[in-house]
């Protein structure tokens, strides 16, 4: 009954924590492609190849359902993986859909034409690859009209978080928010389009100001997954054991993950 969660590094642990709290009875297998992180500066073809390999590895662990808890992978690879054909009984989902559902206040199953929504000016903070893909804008356009999206590529933030340098990460966040506000001085809402960014949510909020509603993904993904599994209980795979897998140095990644979540995390080689 295991569900797979994939991220290029440690950012997806923010999603894992939320889904574990929401679905404590479900074992999750987490795979971090630490050897190739970060994905945000890679080419779309490279991201697709690496993501496809990671998904296949999680299928081997008995995970019929895999969540791409990496916005870059969701933006650059998810559509190709889904359209390329999946083995029978396997599914791969991304993290954009729950975010856009919350932003537009309409269910993904609502296939009525795009309409105006409450928010008009949205600031998107994401990795360079996610910004370049325009995947968020494309998916949003299926649901809403009249929404101005200003994207800011937050170079360096993921690297600083992965290295545990939160002082540098905070400085970079403030710099990127300032750059965004020069282009969009008064956003209604801000989207943290990377699963690393919830760790810096308070910094984003402070820099943006109290009048900006900040949308972060972990809790939204957890609720969406709970709803999906309630409707598709057959997607719980045959895997039984929770695991943490990495393509990088298991001991080093374990130390960083333990510091990241402030609880003991033991990774093993993928």
Partners of 245 in the β-ladder: 31, 268
Residue with tokens 């083995």: 87
Q: In whole angstroms, what is the distance from residue 191 CA to residue 215 CA?
A: 5
Single out the catalytic residue among 3, 54, 70, 265: 70
Residue with tokens 């034409």: 113
Burial of 117 (0-12, 13-18, 19+ CB in 10 A): middle
Partners of 126 in the β-ladder: 153, 193
197 is written with which tokens?
């960014």
Long-range contacts of 175-181 (CB under 8 A, 24+ apart): 176/125, 176/152, 177/125, 177/152, 177/204, 177/207, 177/208, 178/207, 179/152, 180/123, 180/125, 180/150, 180/152, 181/208
DSSP code, position 114: P
63 is catalytic: no
CA dist 10 → 64, 69, 106, 221, 257 (Å): 22, 10, 30, 16, 7
Single out the catalytic residue among 66, 194, 200, 212: 194
Q: In whole angstroms, what is the distance from residue 96 CA to residue 206 CA?
A: 24
154 is catalytic: no
The C-alpha angle with vertex 82 and arms to 76 and 83, in degrees rounded to 5, equals 95
Residues tagged active-site: 70, 194
């Amino acid at each position: 009954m295991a569900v797979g969660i994939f991220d290029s590094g440690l950012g997806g642990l923010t999603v894992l924590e939320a889904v574990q709290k929401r679905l404590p009875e479900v074992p999750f297998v987490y795979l971090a492609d630490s050897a190739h992180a970060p994905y945000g500066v890679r080419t779309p073809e490279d991201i697709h190849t690496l993501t496809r390999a990671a998904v296949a590895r999680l299928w081997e662990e008995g995970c019929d359902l895999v969540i791409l808890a990496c916005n870059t992978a969701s933006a650059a690879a998810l559509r190709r993986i889904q359209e390329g054909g999946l083995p029978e009984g396997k599914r791969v989902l991304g993290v954009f859909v729950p975010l856009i559902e919350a932003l537009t206040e309409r269910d993904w199953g609502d296939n009525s034409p795009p309409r105006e929504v409450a928010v008009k000016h949205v600031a998107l903070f994401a990795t360079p690859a996610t910004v370049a893909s325009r995947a968020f804008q494309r998916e949003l356009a299926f649901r809403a009209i009249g929404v101005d999206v200003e994207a800011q590529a937050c170079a360096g933030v993921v690297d600083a978080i992965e290295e545990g340098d939160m002082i540098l990460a905070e400085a970079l966040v403030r710099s990127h928010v300032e750059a965004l506000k020069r282009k969009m001085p008064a956003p209604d809402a801000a989207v943290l389009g990377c699963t690393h960014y919830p760790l810096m949510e308070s910094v984003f909020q402070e820099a943006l100001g109290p009048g900006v509603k900040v949308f972060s993904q972990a809790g939204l993904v957890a609720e969406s997954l709970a709803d999906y599994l309630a409707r598709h209980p057959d997607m719980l795979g045959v895997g039984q054991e929770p695991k943490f897998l990495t393509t990088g140095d298991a001991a080093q990644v374990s130390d960083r993950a333990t510091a990241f979540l402030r609880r003991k995390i033991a990774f093993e080689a993928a």
